[in-house]
Amino acid sequence: MPAAAPVAIVLAAGKSTRMKSATPKVLHPLCGRPMIEYVLDAARSAGVERLVVVVGHEAEQVKTALSVHKDVEFALQAQQNGTGHAVMVCEENLRQHDGATMILTGDAPLMQSSSFSALLKDYEDEKASCVIGTAVTENNFGLGRIVRNADGEFQCIVEEKDADAAQKAITEINVGCYVFDNQRLFAALKHVNTDNKQGELYLTDAPAIMLADGQRVVAAQRLTIEEALGVNSRDQLAQVHRSIQDATMQALMLEGTTIVDPAQTYIDPRAQIGRDTTIYPFTTISGPVTIGNNCQIGPHAAIDGTANLPDGTTVAAFERIG
């Protein structure tokens, strides 16, 4: 009998405290879409067929925004009592699932499907109960540290506020991306407690509980620190926006589009633009626009929505389409 397709729990219950916004953090727009949609897309591309989004702050607003996605369901975390508690509220949704469950954060839109696929492969190859995605960075303040034994095997995750001096020096960090055996995950969570400086139920305690029970737990350095960048403030939102724009421009230019000044141009990542088309400065292309080959766009042009421009189209300076 083939293994069940992996499911994913996406944590999205937090407030926008540092964003200083009434809008739920995961709904802040990023290159034309709510940031959580990038995480959902990456999970789908890695083979996830069912997504459980944990909502809390402004839950109805998040549910309404994501209601168009037929593979998304919701679990309510009415009071935020830690990441372990956030996963616990999904137990009813996933009670019957026998297979891999990914746990992801909805505010990390740079996560790549290739990294998720690598973690799922590690889960299968290692016959593990848990695989923890890690990255390495010298800028590790505030991040959970991966503690290994002398043989390099995983021992535990220590949060910043609970770490001693030696643990704070560790540069391998937990990026908040996991693959668990679903049934063993919820069994381990029953043993998580609030005996920590935050007084919360840490998801990060579950791997050590599994390890103590004799189960296989692996920490796999499969992600870059750039992928792990979560959005907690407006300046981080701008950083991620720039990163997505840079990747979008580079991909288009490698495929034969000329972008005269990428720093002065905005292109939605969903746009499709043909070869030998030239995009002049101060042009904005928003939405899943299609532009053919040998087009001239701008400067100061705006193309919106689902516009479909055939080969050879010229969009004059200051012209708006869509």
Residue 298's CATH number: 2.160.10.10
Percent of the chain surpassing pLDDT 70: 99
Nearest CA among 242, 243, 230 for reference residue 104: 230
Query: Stretch 134-159: mean pLDDT, rounded?
Result: 94
Of residues 179 and 22, more confidently modeled: 179
Q: What is the mean pLDDT of residues 180-190?
A: 97
Residues 198 and 107 in one domain: yes
Determine the residue type at 222. Answer: R
- Tell me, rounded to whole angstroms, the distance of Cα 67 from its chain centroid: 19
Q: What is the number of structural domains in the chain?
A: 2
User: Which pTM value belongs to this model?
Assistant: 0.93
Burial bucket for residue 263 (CB in 10 Å: 0-12, 13-18, 19+): exposed
Rounded to whole angstroms, how far apart are CA atoms 249 and 272? 11
Write out the residue range of the structural domain in which residue 113 sits: 7-220
Contact between residue 300 and residue 318 where contact means Cβ atoms under 8 Å apart: yes
Of 172, 194, 220, which residue constitutes the final position of a domain?
220
Residues 216 and 260 in one domain: no
Which of 161-165, 175-179, 287-291 bottoms out in mean pLDDT, i.e. has the lowest? 161-165
